[in-house]
Amino acid sequence: MATTGDYLKLHFIVFLWGFTAVLGLLISIPSVEMVFYRTLLAAIGMWAYIVYSKGNIRIAPQDAVKLMLIGFIVCIHWLAFFGSARVSNASVSLVGFATNSLWAALLEPLMNRNRIKIFEVFLGLIVIVGLYVIFSFDFEYKLGLTLGIAAGFTAALFSVFNGKLVRRIDAYSITFYEMVGAFIATSLFLPIYKYTLADQHELQLNPTTLDWVYIAALAWVCSVYAFSMAVKLMKKLSVFFIQLTLNLEPVYGIIMALIILGDKEKMGLNFYIGTLIIISAVLVYPTLKRRFDKPVFMQ
């Protein structure tokens, strides 16, 4: 049974993740190289914590493989999310990410063979309306928003998988193996990236001292702590509710981006109207859940 403390922990995690887009823009090296170092530090940090807390890192080999493959999805999520911020700005990437609630509303019942809840699909469609408002005007960051939407889809996908696995595998073990998988995936992608997308076909693997500080914050605070805590909360909260609450991430992130990054984060009125529509889904969810949380048809 979820407690008030669980909800407060979830919102604190969302606040931390809202800051990730800003941190990503403060780091000087490109997003792919940044994800490479983030996943490496996150895997090391999670391993160190498990050893320090005398936890058990051993799990069944087939589960380890599954988790590392999910880590590949985490890698794609981060590459899309930070790539979105780089080709647009933090606000756009965060709003695109907010589509995760729609994807969760569709993916969770499909993968868990549960009944689809109409009100969750309805709230997901509200997100689509908000995106339409943003896109319907002369919006210059379409690629950035598309990558943000991809980040939202992959976030919902690995969350659904984790929601099933956390029932029998420790949350910290899940985080460790997924960070290892994300690091392996990024490492495999680096050569492809170097000869296709990297500037002058060169990798930038020399972070500044300040870059290391920001990457360490991304890895140990926003990944090891926040990711593990989110997985643990899946034992008490539905994947859809967690994903829907993550729609507050743009609110926290956009406010921090405006404060820290200034004028380049300012957008047109249609952007903020669309964002308000998306965020409204979070506010009406508890009321609709109490009243309509009854499945009506099978997937």
Condensed to tens digits (0 to 9), the pLDDT of residues 255-269 reads 788 788 777 667 778
Helix %, strand %, coil % for the chain, to 5? 80, 0, 20
Residue 186 φ then ψ, to 5°: -65, -40
pLDDT in tens, 96-111: 887 887 788 788 888 8
CA atoms of 256 and 265, how far apart (whole Å): 10
Q: What is the pTM of this model?
A: 0.84
Q: Among candidates 152, 150, 181, which has minimal Cα distance to 71? A: 181
- The residues, any chain, with a CB within 8 Å of residue 181's CB and separated by 6 or more, are 67, 68, 69, 70, 71, 72, 74, 75
Cα R_g (the chain), whole angstroms:
19
169 has pLDDT over 80: yes
Q: Among candidates 221, 167, 170, which has minimal Cα distance to 57? A: 170
Q: Which of 36-45, 121-130, 208-217 has the lowest mean pLDDT?
A: 121-130
Q: Give the pLDDT band of residue 298 (cuts 50, 70, 90).
A: very low
